[in-house]
Amino acid sequence: MNPEKVVFGFFIVLSLTLNFGFFVGEMDNPEHHHVLELFAVIVVNLVATILKFGDRTQMGAVLLSTSLVAVLQLLAAALVWGVALYVTGTGTTSAVMASVVSLSGGAMLANVISVVLLIIETVMLRR
């Protein structure tokens, strides 16, 4: 058992599940998407990204890039939320919520790819 694999697998799967939890619900309804969940997704995703820093293998590089995409999407979602709430003062209207949730949906896609890659790697290793 490789502890590094365990830790990384844990974080990447956790980020996917949390991301899914944030994503599900009515798209433009602020009641269905809690800010704490978004926060948790961002933190877990950041950890998963940093864990892949300095991994020289091909798989490591691809996983790093997908994680980076997810982080970027999530940060964009958080930024949209923050700007709408405090800078422009629009508040969590359905349009704002829709864009936040769709950005997190993109991040989820990246996370799905990460998990699929992880599964492929595990299956191919078979140890």
Stretch in the footprint of other proteins (CB under 8 A) among 21-29, 80-88, 89-97, 110-118: 80-88
How many residues bind other proteins (CB under 8 A)? The answer is 15
**Residue whose CB is less far from other proteins, 62 or 85:** 85
Cα 29 from Cα 92, distance rounded (Å):
9
Radius of gyration of the chain, Cα coordinates, nearest whole angstrom: 16
Cα–Cα distances in Å, from 82 out to 11, 39, 89, 104?
Answer: 25, 12, 9, 14
Based on the shown chain and the rule CB under 8 A, indicate whether residue 54 belongs to the binding site for other proteins.
yes
Nearer to other proteins, 76 or 85 (CB): 85
Between CA 9 and CA 7 the distance in angstroms is: 5
Q: Which residues bind other proteins (CB under 8 A)?
A: 35-36, 39, 43, 46-47, 50-51, 53-54, 56, 78, 82, 85-86
